[in-house]
Structure 1
Amino acid sequence: MNISYSNDSSGGYSDVCVEYYREPVWLQVLFGIIFGLITVFGIGGNAIVCYIVLGHRRMRTVTNYFVVNLAVSDQLMAVMCVNFTFYSTLYMTWPFGPVMCKAVSFFQSVSVSVSIFTLVAISMERYMAIIHPLRPRLGSTGTLLVIGFIWISSGALGLPTAIYTSVYVENGITYCSEEWDQRGNYSFATMVLQYFLPLAVLAMAYSRIGIRIWARKTPGEMEANRDRRMTESKIRLVKMFAVVVFLFAICYLPIHTFNIVQDVYQYVLCYQYIRIIYVTVVAVAMSNCMYNPFIYCWMNSKFRDGFKNVVRCLPGVRRYRDRQQANQSGSFRGLKRTSTLNTHMQS
């Protein structure tokens, strides 16, 4: 979205609302650091998640395959969208050419769709496992088919952005914008399909799961102990994905609110500091691509162990550990020599 108006045949607003206010340098640097951190953690953290799942056989479960799919979509956002969107939003120009204009818009839509559709798929998988445990479970082939369907449907939903997004020049400034007659209807439809409808489904699914888990009573002492451990494991997993869903909802709420406000009252774009507000809500939305690895590490012991093993293998950490071990070994040898010497003196 460009914060400007162009003359149109419908008698809409003119380009008097184009803002020439330039943010102070310190604020530009601050935004640059924020978006840079989003890129680094979004790529690195999700790459570690993929390695933990795909590199260890015991981690290759149906749920974790969906976790990998979620990580890939977040990496796509971090690589293809974060920095390009930051530059074009802050400096109100698009110097990257028409191909990247279409690609960034398309992959941004695809990434958001894949993320929320994957969260819905995870909730459905958990729902069937907990609410209907005796029914056939989703296997590896079925999981891959679901993941394939998620990407195909997300690509189809984002296809209009690739078709109708283009580069144009207005008042000597180059913009990348989506211009077509059905833009308003399409934006509303994608908002419903990528945010409100999936969140409604997720809320109902996790509410039903929560009621089933916390209300379950287990008869018998042995069965109680066994079922308690299983229930605690399910609760931890449900809590983890509930936090993932909650953060997704919180991160994308400001940008959707902003879009609704500007659709209802377009003169809000004439506000002097509206670009700062927009860059902020964009940063909040795109920061969602870096949070999930931290959530997994915090709330899942297996992922936490995996992250610890990866961190131990980092060159700087490895050299520090080797140095510490060498110092401990040297101290032990010195202590052993001192003990031996004391023994000889006493004898």
Structure 2
Amino acid sequence: MEDFVNLTDFINTTSAKETKVPPYSERPETYVVPVVFAIIFIVGVVGNGTLVLIFARHRTMRNVPNTHIFSLALGDLLVILSCVPFTSTIYTFESWPYGELICKLSETTKDVSIGVSVFTLTALSADRFFAIVDPMRKLYSSIGGRGATRCTVFIAAAIWGVALLCALPAAISSHIREFKDGNKTLFKACYPFPTEFGMFYPRTVIMAKFLFYYAIPLSIVAVFYSLMARHLILSTRNMPGEMQGQVRQIRARKKVAKTVLTFVVVFAVCFFPHHLFMLWFYFHPRAQEYYNAFWHYFRIIGFCLSFINSCINPIALYCVSGTFRKHFDRYLFCCLKQGGVRRGRSSQRRTGTRKGWDSTSVPAQHSTLRRHDPAEITLTTFMNGTDKNAAI
């Protein structure tokens, strides 16, 4: 954990000469950060695990955008299971207690997960652009539903391959570094930068991560969404009445685009403080001199937010997608809903007996109405994958 080790090195050397550093037992982050990471672990496993289950059990959910969302969930699960339990304690122990293998594993999976997330969000934005902008619809219609999904699976696999390649430096160079004061070992830390490379190597890695894991992908996403917004504004002007079917399709695709945009905004907010701190700490010539309580807690907030991103996507998807919300409710709240249904049926029987109603007549009538509701038919069509590019 490069941010942890540099701060610890700073506290035990430069800063300790001028200020009294409180012991770990007196620092609030010693107790707050493990609690935050425990919440991240529980919410992340349940949320992303449910997303994977929904994708695996429901064939109608296996469309183009949902394939990318499935890939996002797998990447988040990877970092939550292999990294979060260990990094949650770096503010609790003075030295890294897990050995070099766990050090390499946690650093590598963290980089893989970040790469999968940001590259997948870029691919999702491109997919929304191709689905919405007129000239590229021909490409989708020529590929077809199943062909488009297979193409998306290939893209997702390529994204994982690129993310693994980008994580190779962490897998190779991460090691347990001993920080000493003369012959006395002060502490041991999981350190991703070989010391023999000097300061040039960590600065290069940090700048590369900022550019390829943050600035460049978000810039590409911004271009896609700017072009989409321009196209949608122009396409909705003076649209004739007979194009209402196309209007519904555009609205459905706009809804998916808004979902993707929500993921992008969440990612940008969660990783901005971390990147800002790392750039400041490594590139500002007087960073150690200016380091104070503000930067200390800013860094901790950025550290936590970067992992919160791994558990927040299912929450965001639950809030913005009605289709996924129904599946989440089915799997997560089925016991509560079944209890409510039993109580409702019991109450309905008692009410029906008193008033002389047939307890099945109202649901049957409701079902008949719904079969002839055009809005419901349209929604069912989208949910069943008729428009492979519009359904989430």
* TM-score for the superposition, normalised by structure 2: 0.76
In 2, Cα distance between equivalents of 1:330 and 1:139: 49
- What is the deviation of 1:319? 6.3
- What is the deviation of 1:163? 0.8
Tell me which residue corresponds to 2:315. Answer: 294
The one of 148, 156, 163 equivalent to 2:165 is: 156
- What is the deviation of 1:208? 0.6
- What is the deviation of 1:156? 0.8
In 1, Cα distance between equivalents of 2:156 and 2:51: 17
The one of 206, 215, 222 equivalent to 2:242 is: 222
In the TM superposition, what whole-angstrom CA distance separates every residue of 1:156-200 from its partner, at most 9, and x where no partner exists? 111111111101232342211122212221221122100000000
Cα 1:240–1:249 shift into 2, 3 Å? same
- What is the deviation of 1:251? 0.7
Tell me which residue corresponds to 1:344. Answer: none
Tell me which residue corresponds to 1:10. Answer: none
- What is the deviation of 1:213? 1.5
Alignment of 1:133 onto 2:137: yes
Alignment of 1:192 onto 2:211: yes
For these two proteins, the number of residue pairs brought into alignment is: 328
In the TM superposition, what whole-angstrom CA distance separates every residue of 1:237-267 from its partner, at most 9, and x where no partner exists? 1111111101100110000000011012330
In 2, Cα distance between equivalents of 1:86 and 1:49: 24
In 1, Cα distance between equivalents of 2:215 and 2:121: 13
Tell me which residue corresponds to 1:80. Answer: 82
**Matched residue SS, 1:95:** coil
Q: Identity percentage over the alignment?
A: 21
In the TM superposition, what whole-angstrom CA distance separates every residue of 1:297-343 from its partner, at most 9, and x where no partner exists? 211111111112113424xx266336524752674587489xxxxxx
In 2, Cα distance between equivalents of 1:329 and 1:5: 68
* Counterpart mapping for 1:118-267 below 5 A: 118-131=120-133, 132-135=136-139, 136-137=142-143, 139-170=148-179, 171-180=185-194, 181=197, 182-216=201-235, 217=237, 219-223=239-243, 225-265=244-284, 266-267=287-288
Q: In 1, are the aligned partners of 2:30 and 2:91 still within 8 Å (CA)?
A: no
In 1, Cα distance between equivalents of 2:233 and 2:55: 29
**Matched residue SS, 2:76:** helix
RMSD: 2.6
Cα 1:52–1:269 shift into 2, 3 Å? farther
The one of 114, 117, 132 equivalent to 1:112 is: 114
Cα 1:218–1:23 shift into 2, 3 Å? farther
Structure 2: segments with no counterpart, 5+ residues = 180-184, 357-392
Tell me which residue corresponds to 2:41. Answer: 39
The one of 13, 16, 37 equivalent to 2:14 is: 16
The one of 55, 71, 79 equivalent to 1:69 is: 71
* TM-score for the superposition, normalised by structure 1: 0.86
In 2, Cα distance between equivalents of 1:53 and 1:67: 9
The range that moved more, 214-223 or 191-200, is 214-223
In 2, Cα distance between equivalents of 1:333 and 1:130: 50
In 1, Cα distance between equivalents of 2:349 and 2:250: 48
